[in-house]
């Protein structure tokens, strides 16, 4: 495989201008990152969804900077040329700007991320301004913001009525003006998503935001068929990896129990032990 050029913000901006769809998936470990890199995925998000799909929590709130920076560094080792987005976890950018900049700096310096992502509406404009001034590119996550689940009253699609859609469009403009480098829209109807994507030069990545965004993202475990339970309606499963893993484990169990594994070819040859009892 010939190594590709490093994906940068300029590459994503060019893809948008050329109308070339940007692919983005989450990853949380080295081997999966290698697979995404080999496949040519442009963007990888080390999402705080790790709290759910890796750690088994029931929301994204229970994960911290140390853990996500460690995962992001592993993903970077596996995917050196992808555009790597580090997701800033709950309460890592809310308390004050200094803390936000320090935490974001860890994703950039210690993990080699290309930008960080933070969730919020117009109320995080100042935070984005301060982070950008500190040379940290920020992707702003609008629409359904899972870190605000208790405020939003559940995981509900956003911007579904005219007022909500207009508010979303205004929020996007405010965050662009504040210096955001890209937008991520989660669980919003296609109409406001299209209006936002057409009104800005920023790459707009949709996650359940219809076909008109500049790119699309899914949680890897959801699209591979590893996650169990009810998934959001925008998720499409492209594999059934949970069943594949289960079949492999069942095969191993049955061969261990029947004595078929390990066979001679899995066994080291050594000097014959004389009279070994």
Positions that interact with ligand KIV (CB under 6 A): 26, 45, 47-49, 87, 184, 186, 207, 217, 219
Beta carbon of residue 144, minimum distance to ligand KIV (angstroms, whole number): 9
- For residue 105, how far is the Cα from the chain centroid? 18
Q: Which two tokens stand for residue 170?
A: 């205004």
Tell me which of 37, 42, 119, 186 is the catalytic residue: 186
Beta carbon of residue 227, minimum distance to ligand KIV (angstroms, whole number): 11
151 close to 201: Cβ distance less than 8 angstroms: no
Looking at beta carbons, which pairs linking 58-62 to residues 24 or more positions away fall under 8 Å? 59/146, 59/149, 60/89, 60/90, 60/146, 60/147, 60/149, 61/90, 61/147, 61/149
Nearest residue (CB) to ligand KIV, 66 versus 98: 66
Specify the DSSP class assigned to residue 237. Answer: -
Beta carbon of residue 130, minimum distance to ligand KIV (angstroms, whole number): 22
Residue nearest to ligand KIV (CB): 47
| Residue in this structure with the two tokens 């969804």, named with its chain if needed | 49
Nearest residue (CB) to ligand KIV, 49 versus 103: 49
Nearest residue (CB) to ligand KIV, 16 versus 221: 221
Beta carbon of residue 192, minimum distance to ligand KIV (angstroms, whole number): 17
Q: Is 255 a catalytic residue?
A: no
Nearest residue (CB) to ligand KIV, 78 versus 89: 89
In a 3-state reduction of DSSP, which class is residue 157?
coil
- The crossing angle, in degrees rounded to 10, of helices 125-133 and 162-178 is 20
Catalytic residues: 186
């Amino acid at each position: 495989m010939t190594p590709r050029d490093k994906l940068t913000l300029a590459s994503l901006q060019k893809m948008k201008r050329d109308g070339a769809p940007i692919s983005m998936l989450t990853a949380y470990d080295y081997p999966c990152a290698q697979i995404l890199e080999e496949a040519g995925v442009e963007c990888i998000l080390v999402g705080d969804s790790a709290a759910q799909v890796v750690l088994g929590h029931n929301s994204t709130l229970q994960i911290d900077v140390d853990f996500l920076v460690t995962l992001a560094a592993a993903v970077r080792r596996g995917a050196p040329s992808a555009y790597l987005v580090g997701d800033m976890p709950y309460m890592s950018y809310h308390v004050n700007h200094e803390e936000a900049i320090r935490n974001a700096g860890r994703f950039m310096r210690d993990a080699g991320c290309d930008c960080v992502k933070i969730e919020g509406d117009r109320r995080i404009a100042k935070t984005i301004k301060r982070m950008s001034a500190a040379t940290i590119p920020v992707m702003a996550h609008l629409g359904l913001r899972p870190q605000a689940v208790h405020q939003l009253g559940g995981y509900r699609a956003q911007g579904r009525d005219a007022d909500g859609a207009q508010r979303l469009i205004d929020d996007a403009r405010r965050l662009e003006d504040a210096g955001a480098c890209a937008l991520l829209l989660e669980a919003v109807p296609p109409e406001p998503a299209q209006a936002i994507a057409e009104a800005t030069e920023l790459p707009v990545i949709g996650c359940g935001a219809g076909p008109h965004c500049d790119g699309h993202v899914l949680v890897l475990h959801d699209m591979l068929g590893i996650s169990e339970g009810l998934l959001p309606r925008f998720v499409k499963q492209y594999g059934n990896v949970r069943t594949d893993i289960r079949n492999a484990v069942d095969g191993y169990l049955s061969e261990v129990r029947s004595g078929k594994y390990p066979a001679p070819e899995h066994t080291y040859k050594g000097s014959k032990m004389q009279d070994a009892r």
